[in-house]
Amino acid sequence: MIYSKDCINQEEMKFWNTNNVSWIGTYDIRGSIPEAMDNDIHPFFNVASSSFYFDKSSFWHNLSHRFHWDGKEHSEQNFRFISSVTGEQLKLIEKDKIKVGFRCYYEI
pLDDT tens-place string over residues 75-108: 888 999 888 988 988 776 777 788 888 876 656 6
Q: Above 90 in pLDDT, residue 69?
A: yes
Contacts 24+ apart (CB under 8 A), 95-100: 95/53, 98/34, 98/53, 98/74, 99/33, 99/34, 99/74, 100/33, 100/34, 100/35, 100/36, 100/47, 100/69, 100/74
Nearest to 99 by CA among 73, 80, 81, 77: 73
